[in-house]
């Protein structure tokens, strides 16, 4: 029996040298998160002040929005640079970046996901249109998050007469990955994971760069006993296996077999959402879902569209696709975003983004923190708070139709829906419709150039993106335009000559099936 690859997490992290680049697999909410390795690296650094000046790469935000995940390694001295697709799940690392204590980049999740295939093949980098005219574009910010960050990772280039962005490949030394089962030769399966992610591409990239690949798993199998089609990381790429019987599927679920595809659960057991303004927004967005389309959802209110659509009996009319690689089922909301209940297929993330970038999504519903008059949207950075773009840029830039979902204002907003009318009791303290967004995560200019259909849905108003900017097209029953809408915007939108009232059935607690009659 070959047991030479079986290591403790402590022994694995001893192999990391100063100035190494460490790639951390998995996603936020604990999905395929190599927690034991992150904790062991933290312990080594706190006890020995070594290793130092590491560069971390995380394709999504690996953490729990509190103390877990990559917050374990967010220490001055340990971190020199962080290149991340999303930051909101690791607030301690975000704090280091916002305080200018580390070099920090935010690049699109799909770009980083695909870039590892380029690194593995030793190609110079990734050519793509993704990121043009957003904050990732070097003519705007280049994905740099603070003044300490000066090196350019993105260039504007011309390819076959078309403007593209070029994302440089970079060397990678260490991989922290996670699977479910490993045999004694290091072959790894992922049968209990909610997604496959970029594990194969990362392992190939690190291996071909002469680095070391460490994989945390739940259990150990005998040599040669795994079915070859179930092996997602071949043993030829793996240097160390760390067995952690206590590992959980997510931070919220020890193991949900409906996430991994082991079983299908009855959808009627999904808890209905409370009837409030957030549900109104989600229901209005659900009215735009095309029959038999491919639909993508974001987090927050936009993530609720899947649950609401199921309540409305629409779940068999279309297929959801989540950027982590999950196709079909109902996307999980909240901290477990990235998993889906009853998925039809789970593919690797780079392939999912190939499909997304090429226009495979018919409709995407995403959030919005700020919107300006020309249709730019910010979700990635508010003041000093670094949130990150995640897959937002790939999806929003390439979906055939995009709907941005959110309450009209934020911070203390209180609304009562009664007798089919929307009543604003307390207005939110913070405007979302502003003169200038803090960061351009979605470019209204680029959307107009590509002819993309763009909508903005709130509880009291619906806007569309027109040639000159935002156009008010619908208002909620009970809402007064001047007092409840225009007074809380920093700019004056155009008002459609065909302005109409939002579907009145949206404001009734018991959803009438007639609400869906236009789908």
The 10s digit of each residue's pLDDT in 303-357 is 888 778 878 877 667 899 999 999 998 888 789 999 999 999 999 999 999 999 9
Domain that holds residue 234: 6-243
Low-confidence residues of the chain: pLDDT under 70: 1-3, 268-270, 315-316, 510-519
Specify if 208 maps to a domain.
yes
Cβ within 8 Å of residue 227, ≥6 positions away: 189
Quote the pLDDT of residue 243: 98
Same domain, 311 and 405: yes
Same domain, 87 and 159: yes
Same domain, 271 and 217: no
| Residues 461 and 475: beta-carbon distance below 8 Å | yes
Same domain, 217 and 288: no
Q: What is the CATH number of the domain that holds 152?
A: 3.40.1080.10
Same domain, 274 and 238: no
Quote the pLDDT of residue 268: 66
Specify if 126 maps to a domain.
yes
Q: What does the chain come to in residues? A: 519
The domain boundary, picked from 195, 228, 243, lies at 243
Q: Where are the beta strands (DSSP E) in 16-60?
A: 21-24, 54-58
The domain boundary, picked from 202, 228, 243, lies at 243
C-alpha dihedral (58, 60, 65, 66), degrees to nearest 10? -20
Answer left, alpha or beta for residue 359, where phi above 0 means left and psi between -120 and 50 means alpha.
left
Same domain, 164 and 294: no
**Domain tally for the chain?**
2
Quote the pLDDT of residue 45: 98
| Residues 186 and 201: beta-carbon distance below 8 Å | no
Specify if 231 maps to a domain.
yes
Specify if 214 maps to a domain.
yes
Q: What is the rounded CA–CA span in Å between residue 412 and residue 222?
A: 57
- Sign of the CA dihedral with 255 first, then 260, 266, and 270 last: positive
Same domain, 299 and 354: yes
Q: What is the rounded CA–CA span in Å between residue 98 and residue 95?
A: 5
Single out the catalytic residue among 323, 336, 427, 459.
Answer: 323
Same domain, 488 and 379: yes
Kindly report the pTM of this predicted structure: 0.94
Same domain, 272 and 135: no
Which letter does DSSP use for residue 485 in this model? I
Specify if 262 maps to a domain.
no
Specify if 512 maps to a domain.
yes
Same domain, 224 and 281: no
Same domain, 60 and 178: yes
- 464 in active site: no
HSE-up of 56 (CA within 13 Å, CB side)? Answer: 34
Specify if 254 maps to a domain.
no
Same domain, 236 and 272: no
Specify if 150 maps to a domain.
yes
């Amino acid at each position: 029996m070959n047991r030479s690859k079986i290591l403790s997490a402590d022994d694995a992290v001893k192999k990391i040298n100063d100035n190494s680049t460490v790639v951390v697999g998995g996603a936020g909410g604990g999905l395929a998160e190599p927690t034991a390795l992150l904790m062991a690296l933290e312990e080594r650094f706190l006890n020995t002040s070594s290793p130092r000046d590491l560069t971390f790469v995380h394709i999504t935000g690996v953490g729990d929005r509190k103390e877990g995940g990559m917050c374990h390694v967010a220490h001055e001295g340990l971190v020199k640079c962080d290149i991340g697709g999303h930051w909101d799940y690791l607030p301690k690392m975000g704090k280091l970046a916002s305080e200018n204590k580390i070099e920090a980049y935010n690049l699109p999740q799909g770009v980083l996901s695909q870039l590892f295939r380029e690194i593995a093949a030793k190609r110079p980098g990734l050519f793509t249109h993704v990121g043009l005219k957003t904050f990732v574009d070097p003519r705007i910010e280049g994905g740099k998050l603070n003044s300490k960050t000066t090196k350019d990772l993105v260039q504007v280039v011309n390819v076959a007469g078309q403007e593209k962005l070029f994302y440089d490949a970079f060397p990678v030394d260490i991989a922290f990955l996670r699977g479910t089962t490993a045999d004694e030769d290091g072959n790894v399966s992922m049968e209990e994971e909610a997604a496959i992610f970029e594990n194969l591409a990362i392992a190939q990239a690190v291996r071909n760069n002469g680095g070391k690949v460490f994989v945390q798993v739940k259990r150990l199998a005998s040599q040669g006993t795994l079915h070859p089609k179930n092996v997602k990381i071949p043993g030829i790429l793996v240097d160390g296996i760390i067995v952690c019987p206590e590992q959980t599927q997510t931070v919220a679920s020890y193991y949900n077999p409906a996430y991994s595809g082991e079983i299908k659960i009855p959808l009627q057991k999904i808890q209905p959402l409370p009837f409030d303004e957030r549900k109104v927004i989600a229901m209005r967005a659900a009215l735009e879902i095309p029959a038999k389309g491919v639909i993508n959802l974001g987090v927050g209110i936009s993530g609720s569209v899947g649950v609401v659509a199921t309540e409305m009996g629409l779940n068999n009319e279309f297929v959801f696709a989540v950027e982590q690689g999950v196709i079909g089922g109902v996307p999980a909301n909240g901290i477990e975003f990235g998993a889906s209940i009853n998925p039809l297929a789970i593919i690797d993330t780079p392939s999912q983004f190939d499909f997304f970038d090429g226009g495979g999504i018919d409709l995407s519903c995403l959030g919005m923190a700020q919107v300006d008059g020309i249709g730019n949207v910010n979700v990635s950075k508010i003041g000093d708070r670094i949130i990150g773009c995640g897959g937002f840029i790939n999806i929003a830039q390439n979906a055939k139709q995009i709907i941005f979902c959110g309450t009209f204002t934020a911070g203390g907003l209180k609304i009562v829906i009664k007798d089919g009318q929307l009543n604003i009791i307390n207005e939110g303290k913070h405007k979302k419709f502003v003169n200038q967004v803090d960061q351009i995560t979605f470019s209204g200019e680029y959307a107009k150039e590509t002819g993309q259909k763009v909508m903005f849905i709130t509880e009291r108003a619906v806007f569309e993106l027109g040639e000159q900017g935002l156009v008010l097209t619908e208002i909620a029953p009970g809402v007064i335009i001047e007092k409840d809408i225009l007074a809380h915007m920093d700019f004056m939108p155009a008002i459609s000559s065909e302005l109409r009232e939002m579907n009145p059935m949206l404001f009734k607690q018991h959803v009438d099936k007639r609400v869906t009659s236009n789908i």
